[in-house]
Amino acid sequence: MKIGYFGANLGAFDNPDAIERLATTAEGVGFESLWTGEHVVLIDPQVAPSPVPPLSPFVDTIATLAFIAAQTESIKIGSGIILLPQRDPIVLAKELAGIDVLSKGRLLFGLGVGYVEGEYQALGIPYAERGARASEHIEVIRTLWTQEEPAFAGRFTSFSGIQSRPLPVQEPHPPIHVGGMSPAALRRAVAQGDGWYGFFQDLDGTAAMLRGLEEAGKRVERPAGLGELEISVTPPGPVDADTARRFEDLGVHRLVLMRGFEDMAGARDEEAGLRFIEDTARELSLG
């Protein structure tokens, strides 16, 4: 079982000193990966389904991943998750390839579509198109990362006669982890992802999602080149060794742990976050 940490750019970890302490602590005690969260903007005043108060800090994902790469040597760095339809896929492919190069091949690319319509309105992107954009953007990025003479003709993006170098270090490209619990997200993970990422899922919820992935596999074809779908899950809080084993028995490959939802909602207790990292490492016998 791989063990990661979710929240490397939010809550108390919204400044360089705190992020550096988090990254070096997690790497030092044996965590496999660090993951960011993302909301480009937050709704003010908070209105459902916006998940957190509007002044909750989220340091930009790309900036945070680059910063952590420079502070560490071996821990993997993941976007958990980039709201892909809100991004220009050509620019994002360039940014993420740069992260993979500068980290010497440690990037995990997690993506999703989001669920807050007001965020899309602020960015001028049609909310109803988010699923179609996500599916196409994945292929745009994969094309730029893998083709010697990249060309693409799609609904939202078309190009030919260009180059975007350097390419990522990892071959054929950094792992693509598709997040989301909707039937469409599960189908997207099966059809296009190296992995699936489920957020805030307990054991029962994870079991249900794995059944959903199995059903999705009956509806969409999984390309043979993608191999086995890697399963990553963020439970709603700490886990003990027995619970981690129960997730593993379900078929989960990675737990991306967080102390609790309060960290997303702007909790400022850095020391509690670092203690959580250290306590988890002892409980799960990491390192």
pLDDT at 266: 78
Residue 261 pLDDT level (bands cut at 50, 70, 90): confident
| pLDDT exceeds cutoff 90 at 262 | no
pLDDT digits (tens, 9 = 90+) for 163-209: 999 999 999 999 999 999 999 999 999 999 999 999 999 999 999 99
pLDDT at 96: 98
Structure tokens at 207: 């079991």
Per DSSP, the residues of 62-97 read HHHHHHHHHH-SS-EEEES-EEGGGS-HHHHHHHHH
pLDDT at 264: 85
276: left (phi over 0), alpha (psi -120 to 50) or beta: alpha
pLDDT digits (tens, 9 = 90+) for 44-72: 999 999 999 999 999 999 999 999 999 99
91: left (phi over 0), alpha (psi -120 to 50) or beta: alpha
Q: How far apart are CA 24 and CA 3, in angstroms?
A: 15
Q: Where are the chain's structural domains?
A: 2-283
| pLDDT exceeds cutoff 90 at 263 | no
Q: How far apart are CA 95 and CA 64, in angstroms?
A: 12
| % of the chain at pLDDT higher than 70 | 100
| pLDDT exceeds cutoff 90 at 267 | no
Helix, strand, or coil here: 198?
A: strand
Report the candidate in 41, 141, 151, 36 with the shortest Cα–Cα distance to residue 89. 141
Neighbours of 207 (CB within 10 A): 16
Residue 287 pLDDT level (bands cut at 50, 70, 90): confident
104: left (phi over 0), alpha (psi -120 to 50) or beta: left
Task: Look up the CATH number of domain 2-283.
Answer: 3.20.20.30
| pLDDT exceeds cutoff 90 at 278 | yes
Nearest-5° angle of CA 43, CA 41, CA 21? 120
pLDDT at 277: 97
pTM for the whole thing?
0.97
Structure tokens at 69: 């790469």
